[in-house]
Structure 1
């Protein structure tokens, strides 16, 4: 499921980039030419179409981003190393006296 949504998301992203690059900016941009799309529409009509297409693709991009985020949040979570450590505090040292140091076998000072 996640792979299908990811592929759709990538296709929408590429289409969105393409639609934005086709639009004519104030400085001319990549929309150079007569201003109409092959004589299909007037300049104002093509601007409305591209603006609406951009808005629809942006909304679809946003929706697929949210869906991917939700799917990633619901994915199987790996256990943390902190989940495996026992919660009990370390035990206090026992109150038994420490053993006395052993006498050296070699006499000192002779």
Structure 2
């Protein structure tokens, strides 16, 4: 299903690019259909209306297929978790406990200084 919608989406995108490039530009003769004198098969006003309506319809279709693809992608994704699964769903995370630290030992007591031995 998503493959079919993706193919339709790509075809709409290519058609939308083509229709936008055919439109007459406002700033000069930058578009394919906007340059020269009147030798086209469509005259000014009818070409503008037809291309504008076609662009609007293709843009709406592009928007709808984009939403459909995003909804399908979110439904097909499996939920993921980092928590281990228990019998009844998710179990609380078990953190291994570290052994309790040993009681500090007293530092060794230095031996009492011995008196010098006389000879």
For normalisation by structure 2, the TM-score amounts to: 0.67
Mark the runs of 5 or more structure 1 residues left unpaired by the alignment.
98-110
Q: Deviations over 1:33-70 (max 9, x none)?
A: 445642xx321011000000000000000110000000
Cα deviation for residue 93 of structure 1 reads 1.6
Mark the runs of 5 or more structure 2 residues left unpaired by the alignment.
86-91, 103-119
Q: Report which of the two structures shows the higher radius of gyration computed on alpha carbons.
A: 2
Number of corresponding residues:
94
Question: Higher relative CO (CA 8 A, sep ≥ 6), structure 1 or 2?
Answer: 1
Q: What's the C-alpha RMSD, in Å, of the aligned pairs?
A: 2.5
For normalisation by structure 1, the TM-score amounts to: 0.72
- 1:7 equivalent in alignment to 2:7: yes
Q: After TM superposition, which residue ranges in structure 1, 4 or more long, deviate above 6 angstroms?
A: none
